[in-house]
Chains A and B, each alone.
Chain A
Amino acid sequence: MRRKFGLILVTLMSLALVLGACGASNTGSKTSDGAENTTSAPGSDSGSGKKVTLSFWTLFSGGDGDNMQAMIDEFNKTHPDIQVKNTKLEWGEYYTKLITAVGNGNGPDVGISHTSRLPDLINQGVVSELDDVAQAAGVDWSSYNSNLLNATVVDGKHYAAPIDTHPFIMYYNKKLLKDAGLLGDDGKPVMEQSADGFVAFLEMLKQKLPSKVTPFALSNTNDDPYRLWWALYSQLGGNDVISDDLKKAALDADKGAKAADYIQKLYSNGYIKKNDPDFYKNFQSGTAAIMMTGVWATGTWEATKDLEFGAMPIPKIFDQAATWGDSHTIILPVAKKEDPDKAKAAMIFADWLASNGQTWAKAGHIPSKPSVLEKQEFKDLPYRSDYASVADTVKFNKPSTKNWQIRDNALFKYLNEVWTNKMSPADAMTKMQDAIQKVLDE
């Protein structure tokens, strides 16, 4: 099975291209015929009376997947003219499938993209511009949180409707904090929000709690420590790792090293468990006092029996409040043959999802429209309001097409070495600068 793997990958790809080319011409004409049949109502500028069917590709699983399906069902019930069909794809393969499908003309009518991935999709010609269709559908862009919306605007044009933001926040175990005498009467941690204050807080936890308890649950590699680094780097005033023209590596080495050094000490002083195989489980089973990850964990903790937890923005350790975050956005993939009715229906659907974010917030995400935060249904959800303000302080990536590559090939790699004490923060910054430039030059 393994023997021909490399060859098979390449051959399959080329084959997909060959067959895809044939397939596209056939199915393309079929769907356009079908579309004509369903949407050829003369003078139907409101689109009423005729049904539009939209195919929607999503990458959500677990709680997210269920909530999205519930929202689609609700939308289909309240919009008899528009029927949305959900296709759930595996998250790891989602973008590859989306790009290839759109490339040979078989893409969906509606799709999902992360804000950080959007520039790459635009560059590859996968995503269509929304301004005209948004106007036709009566979308009011000012109803969106401007920090989230601006991150999806490229060259002054709208390309996506953000439905949420999922920033990096902090969770704490109320029982353990109480045992250590660090839980205030308001149910919030007693901690001075500063570099020394946070360390003192962890030191207290380490001393007061049994040695089996991890003061701070965090993975030792890749995403989550990187997100913490990004947050602290931004708190110090760091402004992404690339220049404004997106062509040069522009990591602020001093700030980057200072942030990395601070985190490295959290590891070497034993506040974070070394090579924790599963830091989610560590927190979930009540053996870790605090943990940091994306807001999507809220739903999981709620479903966990006997876990008394709280959620809050990550502490302001340095000069200004900032954190890592990304957004799920709704995109309209480029279609082989443009269909204004479909596009309009898709836009109505996208805006509806954003306006009804209270269901989506069940998984922990922060809705993208401030008006949703005022809805009673949202206020009835516990925890979310404690961190909803973070939406304004999320520091997004600049709109580079290489964001994910930089993260995977230049940042994770060297930061991981810093966490295990194998590389000094200053050395890592030098190496990262070179690696970022290499990715940008490729």
Chain B
Amino acid sequence: MRISKLRADLLALLFLLPFVVIYVLFTIWPMIKGVEMTFYKWTLIKKMSYVGWDNYNRMLHDREVWEAIWHSTFFVILTTPTMIVLAIVLALIANRKSRLQKLYRTVFFIPSVLSVAVASFLGLFIFQPYMGFVNTFLHWIHLLPESSEIFWLTETGLSWVAVAVITLWWTVGFNFILYLSAMQEIPDEINEAARLDGANNWNIFWNITFPHLSPITKTITMLQIISSFKVFMQIYIITGGGPLDKTRPIIQLIYQTGFRKNDLGYAATMSYVVFVILLVLSAVQYWINNRKEA
């Protein structure tokens, strides 16, 4: 009995081995190597010299780093609540019994299959002045005088709006599907009973649907915070971090430091600080969730 269990374990390990080897080689080992890099001056080519805690010290006093971290945080604040509201609204629309149900589901989900570059370039075309869709539309409904233009991509405030809108449009599909499946798990009997008791749509949503969505909302919030904090490509393509680096997120700064300035040691240091921030965020979230359920 005992021996056969051991054999089964060994057999399982054997099957796991290919994955474990690759995982260690391509994920664990580079992570360890990355920690080492933070203590060196390290160019694109080679390890130069040991600098101790200098990279960390420099980071503490580097305004650019903290501004970039704030920009990533601001993006989280901007997109997380809006994402959740939008995903719920879309899921409610697609969950209604309607002949267009299938169409809704497809249309809401389709942007998610695009790659980030495609989504971002669409965003560029939509928001650019003179011939972009948004400005042309505003001219057409006479909300914007013919002779003036809104420069969505070059004003700090507006470019945040543009980036957030594109991100929401592009990524809402996945969260929408999660909410939709959660809604479909709510038993119909509860809703019927509520209707018999005279509840209106709003009562049903607020007292039945929404509470049932609470576990998935927690998951989505956590995933959304983490992925929003790591925003890079959309902003890089749409605004390039400008104007005056006022929309530059931390990942872009890491990329620029490592690959444009050939300063990999410092870039690795920033990466690990971001890693720690995300780790703490996830831990706090996990703790809050568990406490409530207990």
List the interface of chain A (C-beta within 8 A of B).
Answer: 1-7, 9-15, 17-18, 96, 99-100, 102-104, 124-125, 220-221, 273-277, 404-405, 408, 413-414, 416-417, 420, 422, 442
**Chain A residues whose C-beta falls within 8 Å of the C-beta of B37 in the assembled complex:** 10, 14
With a 10 A CB-CB cut-off, give which of B33, B233, B274 has the most chain A CB atoms.
Answer: B33
B129-A277 in contact (CB<8A):
yes
Number of A-B residue pairs, CB cutoff 8 Å, is 116
Across the two chains, which residue of chain A brings its CB closest to B263? A442
Shortest distance between the CB of B32 and any CB in chain A (Å): 9
Residue of A nearest to B32 (CB): A14
Chain A residue with the shortest CB-CB distance to B275: A7
Q: Which residues of B contact A103 (CB under 8 A)?
A: 44-46
**Provided the pairs A99-B262, A274-B149, A277-B129 are in contact, do residues A5 and B232 lie with their beta carbons within 8 angstroms?**
yes
- Tell whether, in the assembled complex, residue B44 and residue A405 are in contact, meaning their CB atoms are under 8 Å apart: no
Q: Which residue of A lies closest to B223 (CB)?
A: A3
Residues of chain A within 8 A (CB-CB) of B230 are 2-6
On whether the beta carbons of B243 and A96 are closer than 8 Å, the reply is no
What is the size, in residues, of chain B's interface with A at 8 Å between Cβ atoms?
Answer: 48
CB neighbours of B132 from chain A (8 A): 277
Residue of A whose beta carbon sits closest to that of B154: A275
Point out the residues of chain A lying under 8 angstroms from B260, CB to CB: 404-405, 408
Q: Which of B250-278 contact A (CB under 8 A)?
A: 250-251, 254-255, 258-264, 267-268, 271, 274-275
- CA–CA, A404 and B268, complex, Å: 22
Q: Which residues of B contact A (CB under 8 A)?
A: 26-27, 29-31, 33-34, 37, 43-46, 116, 128-132, 149, 151, 153-154, 226-227, 230-233, 242-245, 250-251, 254-255, 258-264, 267-268, 271, 274-275
CB-nearest residue of chain B to A1: B116
* CB neighbours of A416 from chain B (8 A): 242-244
List residues of chain A with CB within 8 A of the CB of B46: 17, 103
Cα distance A96–B116 when bound, in Å?
A: 23
Neighbour of A10 across the interface among B130, B226, B267, CB < 8 A: B267
Give A13's nearest chain B residue, CB to CB. Answer: B264
In the A-B complex, list the 8 residue pairs whose CB atoms are closest, starting with the nearest: A103-B45, A11-B30, A14-B33, A277-B128, A14-B30, A6-B251, A10-B271, A275-B129
Query: Is B26 in contact with A11, judged by CB distance below 8 angstroms?
Result: yes
What are 12 contact pairs spanning A and B, CB under 8 A? A2-B232, A5-B230, A5-B251, A6-B250, A10-B258, A11-B33, A14-B34, A18-B30, A124-B44, A274-B129, A275-B151, A442-B261
Best-surrounded residue of B129, B154, B268 (most CB of chain A within 10 A)? B154
CA distance in complex: A182, B267 (Å): 54
| Residues of chain A contacted by B149 (CB below 8 angstroms) | 274-275
Q: What is the CB-to-nearest-CB distance from B63 to chain A, in angstroms, rounded to a whole number? A: 10
Q: Is the CB of A277 within 8 A of B130?
A: yes
Q: Tell me which of B45, B151, B242 contacts A100 (CB under 8 A).
A: B45
A416–B116 Cα distance when bound, in Å, is 27
Q: A1-B116, A99-B44 are in contact. Are A6 and B264 (CB under 8 A)?
A: no
* Contact yes or no, B243 A7, CB < 8 A: no
Give Cα A417–Cα B244 distance, bound, in whole angstroms: 7
Identity of the chain B residue whose Cβ is nearest the Cβ of A100 in the assembled complex: B44
Q: How far is the CA of A442 from the CA of B30 in the complex (A)?
A: 26
Q: Which residue of B lies closest to A438 (CB)?
A: B64
CB distance from A18 to the nearest CB of B (A): 7
Query: Is A15 in contact with B30, judged by CB distance below 8 angstroms?
Result: yes
Which residues on the B side are within 8 Å of A18 (C-beta)? 29-30, 33
- In the complex, the answer to whether A417 meets B261 with C-beta atoms within 8 Å is no
